[in-house]
Chains A and B, each alone.
Chain A
Amino acid sequence: MKRHLISAADLTRDDAVLILDTAEEMARVADRPIKKLPTLRGLTVVNLFFEDSTRTRISFEAAAKRLSADVINFSAKGSSVSKGESLKDTALTLEAMGADAVVIRHHASGAPYRLATSGWIDSAVVNAGDGTHEHPTQALLDAFTMRRRLVGRDAGLGKDLNGRRITIVGDVLHSRVARSNVQLLHTLGAEVTVVAPPTLVPIGVESWPCEVSYSLDDVLPKSDAVMMLRVQRERMNAAFFPTEREYSRRYGLDGDRMAKMPEHAIVMHPGPMNRGMEITAEVADSDRCTAVEQVANGVSTRMAVLYLLLGGSEPAVTTASTPRTEESK
């Protein structure tokens, strides 16, 4: 694997499968009475968040803490960033404080790439969502969830998502989740279809490794998983669609539509959900919806990513609770 995780496109099929397999190992730790591994003891992980995101931040925080890393949360609000400090100076500050990994969430597409490639810092950089570009750990946790549900927890080990039909519905244009998922799911062998009104599909989508459809009803019967993206109500004001109700009628997932999906198919949502907009409460609360499971899987997946970027090639989980010695680090 590369030193940083900036884009889902950075991952080969084998990299991705290794992360998913490692995440399964990490998930087992969560079942233990003491949910902690000593693997990253002495290392410092900085959560550098320029954008509000409680969910993603606490997920990374939990992941790093379960690996015994020291965690520093750096939020742009209430810091010198709000006084006009540049990304570069913030990076230099973190470097001086000895960050081993920087988990960055930024409103500007490409900010994590700049952080990783401009020579400002030496630490590993993990993209926790940049603008409308990518959110690779979300794609990994989604793939993890799909593999568990569609292939099997144990049966899935070492396997990819070959031939699975995944449908991604909603504001593809502005979605970093969609961009990362299309890349990663393609790498894992899945057949991806994005569904959106034409206004919310980017110009240039023809180069993406996926199909594009404007009709949700046509695609649902041929889907093993349907991922509903959050649609911001504000998009209505920029004329991306006429009204919330019209969007909901044409592209929202309700019970009737869910019934058109194959029996085994799951409904996914990266959260936070707009109940009544892209998804009805009936669907959100059904057994087929994996939204809550995705959150739990997010911690295991991010543990796997941090471990593989920082911990090297040794097994993450050895025997039940053998603490690692300094020499073996």
Chain B
Amino acid sequence: MSKILIRGAKVLGGEAQDVLIDGETIAEVGTGLSAEGATVIEAEGQVLLPGLVDLHTHLREPGREDSETVLTGTRAAASGGYTAVFAMANTFPVADTAGVVEQVWRLGKESGYCDVQPIGAVTVGLEGKQLSELGAMHDSAARVTVFSDDGKCVDDAVIMRRALEYVKAFGGVVAQHAQEPRLTEGAQMNEGVVSAELGLGGWPAVAEESIIARDVLLAEHVGSRVHICHLSTAGSVEIVRWAKSRGIDVTAEVTPHHLLLTDELVRSYNAVYKVNPPLRTERDVTALREALADGTIDIVATDHAPHPHEDKDCEWAAAAMGMVGLETALSVVQQTMVETGLLDWAGVAERMSFAPARIGGLDHHGRPVSAGEPANLTLVDTSYRGVVDPAHFASRSRNTPYEGRELPGRVTHTFLRGRATVVDGILA
């Protein structure tokens, strides 16, 4: 088997060390390791992280291969430093049967760029009426443990309660897209000062917060765990903080864009800023950063949502919601969390690798960088500064809100079980 020696990298941002990969495994971590028989990567000054894990990715296949496929999406993931992604269920057909999740799982295997763990739909057709065959999806080759109707909220309290209870039988978790549907009919952007001026339908924070409040109470009542997708408001942070203080088994994610962008950008009516949940206010951004730092929010998840150009190059109301994020997530986190002093790199590793793998039940990802562990690794040049140019994206879609924006950091190498998927910033 081939050997690779990563020399002088700051492991999790700490002391410079050498890491020797032998085959699919980390063989040794230390200083002054022998390079004999190994390909050497000089990584002085760079930060070595465990391969990133994204709990919230839309790969669009099957059904919307014009915006992304499992292959292009996993290439984008590898470019962004990810070694595993969870593929959301809102495909066409919906991933609500063992057949569809196995198809996505198999396409992931074939891509070879990053592991793909399918998420199963909670309800048939994401319609919120009848539970999907959750057990069958868990028992399938895809071994589904995370279930979500993401894109839609499981708004019926009884269906949500039953789902939370049912998946306990096999250690599953329901990831809720918290959006009260009646309060968000016709909603186009965060409801507040900017929506009042722009005349765009308001999307009140309470539509998210009321569902989160209900669901943490349901989780407590039935003794289940619940995961909250893309938390976006200061009020949601307060509710999750309260729930955790009460011992409720809740985890939560925040997207990179909600850590950086605000609804002021909507003044451009540029639909690249249209996203669900919507961009909020500066006050929310500050609360989300603090919550991610203090652990109230457990992880960063991209909500990578590719859309073809024509679905964004139009009037706001007609545009699709969502942003691509896999290839810029780490840079946004570096800018908003590391360079602000809120997190160190070990903290980033926890929130972008260890914790998401734990929540999603992945055994071979999100592991420590130490001997005997799977060689899923990401090497980051944190001193890099560059302007985002979507023309260079591996994703099939270009709907990034960061075009033309300078962001720090660049993934130079990604290793999936010892195989380099990215070398010197270029897909292998």
Distance of A51 from chain B, by nearest CB (Å): 12
Chain B residues near A107: list those with CB within 8 A.
317
Distance of A73 from chain B, by nearest CB (Å): 20
Inter-chain CA distance A207–B197, complex, in Å, is 9
Check if B269 is an interface residue, CB within 8 A of chain A: yes
Chain A residues near B199: list those with CB within 8 A.
109, 130-134, 176, 179
Q: Which of B87-95, B186-194, B327-335 contacts A (4 or more CB under 8 A)?
A: B186-194
Contact (A204, B269) CB under 8 Å given A87-B314, A88-B314, A109-B316: no
Contact B269 A114 (CB under 8 A): yes
**Most chain A beta carbons < 10 A, residue from B191, B193, B269, B313:** B269
Distance of B78 from chain A, by nearest CB (Å): 33
**Most chain A beta carbons < 10 A, residue from B191, B192, B317:** B317
Contact B202 A203 (CB under 8 A): yes
Contact B196 A207 (CB under 8 A): yes
**Most chain B beta carbons < 10 A, residue from A109, A117, A118, A176:** A109
Nearest residue (CB) in B for A172 is B196
Q: CB within 8 Å of B: which of A64-123? A: 86-88, 106-111, 113-114, 117-118
What residues make up the interface of A, taking CB atoms closer than 8 Å to B? Answer: 86-88, 106-111, 113-114, 117-118, 130-134, 176, 179, 202-208
Distance of B316 from chain A, by nearest CB (Å): 5
Chain B residues near A132: list those with CB within 8 A.
199-201
Question: Contact check: which of B196, B270, B315 meets A203 at CB < 8 Å?
Answer: B196
Chain A residues near B197: list those with CB within 8 A.
179, 204, 207-208
Contact A87 B191 (CB under 8 A): no
Contact B195 A203 (CB under 8 A): yes
User: Interface residues of B, CB < 8 Å — how many?
Assistant: 24
Distance of A110 from chain B, by nearest CB (Å): 3
Inter-chain CA distance A134–B316, complex, in Å, is 15
Contact A108 B316 (CB under 8 A): yes
What residues make up the interface of B, taking CB atoms closer than 8 Å to A? Answer: 188, 191-202, 204, 268-270, 310, 313-318
Nearest residue (CB) in B for A7 is B197
Contact A204 B315 (CB under 8 A): no
7 CB-based A-B contacts, threshold 8 Å: A86-B310, A113-B269, A114-B270, A202-B196, A204-B193, A207-B196, A208-B197
Chain A residues near B204: list those with CB within 8 A.
203
Nearest residue (CB) in B for A238 is B185
Closest 5 A/B residue pairs (Cβ): A204-B196, A133-B199, A110-B269, A132-B199, A108-B317
Inter-chain CA distance A308–B310, complex, in Å, is 34
Q: When A and B form their complex, what is the total count of cross-chain residue pairs whose Cβ atoms lie within 8 Å?
A: 79
Contact B194 A204 (CB under 8 A): yes
Inter-chain CA distance A113–B199, complex, in Å, is 13
Distance of B405 from chain A, by nearest CB (Å): 19
Chain A residues near B201: list those with CB within 8 A.
132
Name 17 extra pairs, CB < 8 A, besides A110-B315, A132-B201, A203-B202. Answer: A87-B314, A87-B315, A87-B318, A88-B313, A88-B314, A108-B317, A109-B317, A110-B200, A114-B270, A114-B315, A131-B317, A132-B199, A133-B199, A179-B199, A203-B191, A204-B197, A207-B196
Inter-chain CA distance A118–B269, complex, in Å, is 10
Distance of B223 from chain A, by nearest CB (Å): 37
Question: Contact check: which of B194, B313, B315 meets A111 at CB < 8 Å?
Answer: B315
Contact B315 A202 (CB under 8 A): no
Inter-chain CA distance A118–B315, complex, in Å, is 10
Inter-chain CA distance A205–B195, complex, in Å, is 10
Contact A114 B196 (CB under 8 A): no
Chain B residues near A202: list those with CB within 8 A.
195-196, 202
Question: Contact check: which of A109, A114, A117 meets B200 at CB < 8 Å?
Answer: A109
Chain A residues near B318: list those with CB within 8 A.
86-87, 108
Chain B residues near A208: list those with CB within 8 A.
196-197
Inter-chain CA distance A203–B194, complex, in Å, is 10
Chain A residues near B310: list those with CB within 8 A.
86, 88
Question: Contact check: which of A86, A109, A118 meets B198 at CB < 8 Å?
Answer: A109
Distance of A312 from chain B, by nearest CB (Å): 28
Chain B residues near A205: list those with CB within 8 A.
196
Contact B195 A204 (CB under 8 A): yes
Distance of B403 from chain A, by nearest CB (Å): 14
Chain B residues near A111: list those with CB within 8 A.
315-316
Nearest residue (CB) in B for A207 is B193
Distance of B196 from chain A, by nearest CB (Å): 3
Chain B residues near A176: list those with CB within 8 A.
199
Inter-chain CA distance A106–B194, complex, in Å, is 20
Chain A residues near B268: list those with CB within 8 A.
113, 117
**Most chain A beta carbons < 10 A, residue from B192, B198, B317:** B198
Distance of A187 from chain B, by nearest CB (Å): 15
Distance of A42 from chain B, by nearest CB (Å): 31
Nearest residue (CB) in A for B266 is A110
Inter-chain CA distance A202–B194, complex, in Å, is 10
Distance of B32 from chain A, by nearest CB (Å): 57
Contact B314 A114 (CB under 8 A): yes
Inter-chain CA distance A114–B269, complex, in Å, is 7
Nearest residue (CB) in B for A86 is B314
Chain B residues near A106: list those with CB within 8 A.
315
Contact A108 B315 (CB under 8 A): yes
